[in-house]
Amino acid sequence: MKAVVVHGANDLRIDERPEPVAGPGEVVLDVEWGGICGSDLSYWRHGASGTAALKSPLVLGHEVAGRIAQLGAGVENLEIGQPVTVHPAELVGDGVMPGRLSGRTNLYPQIRYFGSAAFDPHTDGGFTERKVAKAFQVRPLPDGVDTLRGALAEPLAVAMHAVSRAGNLEGRDILVNGAGPIGSLVIAAAKYAGARNIIATDINDSSLRIAKAMGADDVLNVTGNDLPADVELVFEATGIPAVLGGVLRATARGGTIVQVGNLPGTAAAAALGDLVTREITWIGSYRFVDEITDALHAMANGLDVAPVITHKFGIDDAAEAMRTAVDPAADSSKVMLRLSGS
């Protein structure tokens, strides 16, 4: 079977891999759709994502959906042909956490994640025609949610987790800085959670058009412009240290920033003085717990993620898909791969 495999920086191949077989407690999926994420792009461009560096070839992809093709022994409540997505995380070890982190499994210190080089051997991802998953990772798609949209349940879960970190959004005005795929999904999740007015900012007009389609009430191209002032709640979705000074200045005194854009793991210059003098609360948001289930419910209840999808490619054109995802001139947001089926 075909798989999208990164062998090193700028070395992406379509490799043949052995057909998977479902063991006890496992399923095999015919993977239909996958969404390209920033970590996939980082492995392809740099041979690493954050502190996780490639030591051997890695099948990319953690945003996937498809249909069950095989059931392993002991698997119950799932059926052959059933459309599903996958929670890509699996805790390594006994899963015991300190009481202060009860329920926050996204912060467990050792997690295998689809398409990650954090462990050696690496954890292959889902950009392949067929993929084994543990049955407990599988989430059936509700009626009305096809596998194309189901593949976006994972990034929508990231957005919904960020929204939950901010508390109750009912009737609140917010700013989302950065209207890439995660920023746009934060907008959709915030609107779904009851935000009253959402301002989206970016330097790309096409991204702002998508942000508007995802629920932003106002958009602002900040090329040469300051961010709006005195916003009580800000979601920072760029992960660019150089913009943090402006984001802190835009946040109202005593306000809150939720940092959902991944910041670099190495030293970077940033102007952070306003964090102290304006008594700003700065909250990190990392992956998600089980908001992938909430994301599926939200999509079934009418939350439309389709506007974030801008491009679709077949598995054989994965390299072109990756180039499109990083090309500013391509006006891309979420680039999707058709991995099997028609």
Strand partners, 112: 90
Element (H, E) at 295: helix 291-300
Is residue 289, in this structure, part of any structural domain at all? no
Are residues 108 and 56 part of one domain? yes
Domain CATH for 280: 3.40.50.720
Tokens of 335: 């680039």
pTM: 0.97
Contact 180, 214 (CB under 8 A): no
Is residue 83, in this structure, part of any structural domain at all? yes
Is residue 201, in this structure, part of any structural domain at all? yes
Sign for the CA dihedral angle at 225, 195, 289, 310 comes to: negative
Contact 117, 100 (CB under 8 A): no
Are residues 96 and 35 part of one domain? yes
Domain CATH for 60: 3.90.180.10
Are residues 132 and 98 part of one domain? yes
- Name 325's Cβ contacts closer than 8 Å, sequence gap at least 6: 36, 41, 311, 332, 335
Is residue 177, in this structure, part of any structural domain at all? yes
CA 24 to chain centre: 29
- Name 310's Cβ contacts closer than 8 Å, sequence gap at least 6: 210, 331, 332, 333, 334, 335
Are residues 254 and 131 part of one domain? no
Are residues 263 and 169 part of one domain? yes
Tokens of 137: 């990772």
Tokens of 341: 């089926």
Strand pairing report for 334-338 and 309-314: parallel
Residue 79: predicted pLDDT: 98
- Of 31, 81, 84, the residue nearest 60 (C-alpha): 31
Are residues 148 and 16 part of one domain? yes
Cα–Cα distance between 56 and 70 in angstroms, integer?
Answer: 28
Helices (H), strands (E): how many in the chain? 9, 20
| Residue that is written with structure tokens 């009580």 in the block | 232
Residue 342: predicted pLDDT: 67
Number of domains in the chain: 2
Residue 106: predicted pLDDT: 97
Are residues 114 and 223 part of one domain? no
Alpha-carbon Rg for the chain, nearest whole angstrom, is 20
Is residue 293, in this structure, part of any structural domain at all? no
Residue 50: predicted pLDDT: 87
Number of other CB atoms surrounding residue 154 within 10 Å:
28
Residue 51: predicted pLDDT: 87
Are residues 104 and 164 part of one domain? no
The amino acid sitting at 181 is P
Q: Which residue range forms the structural domain that includes residue 250?
A: 159-284
Q: Name residues of the chain where pLDDT drops below 50.
A: none
Strand pairing report for 111-113 and 173-177: unpaired
Are residues 89 and 42 part of one domain? yes
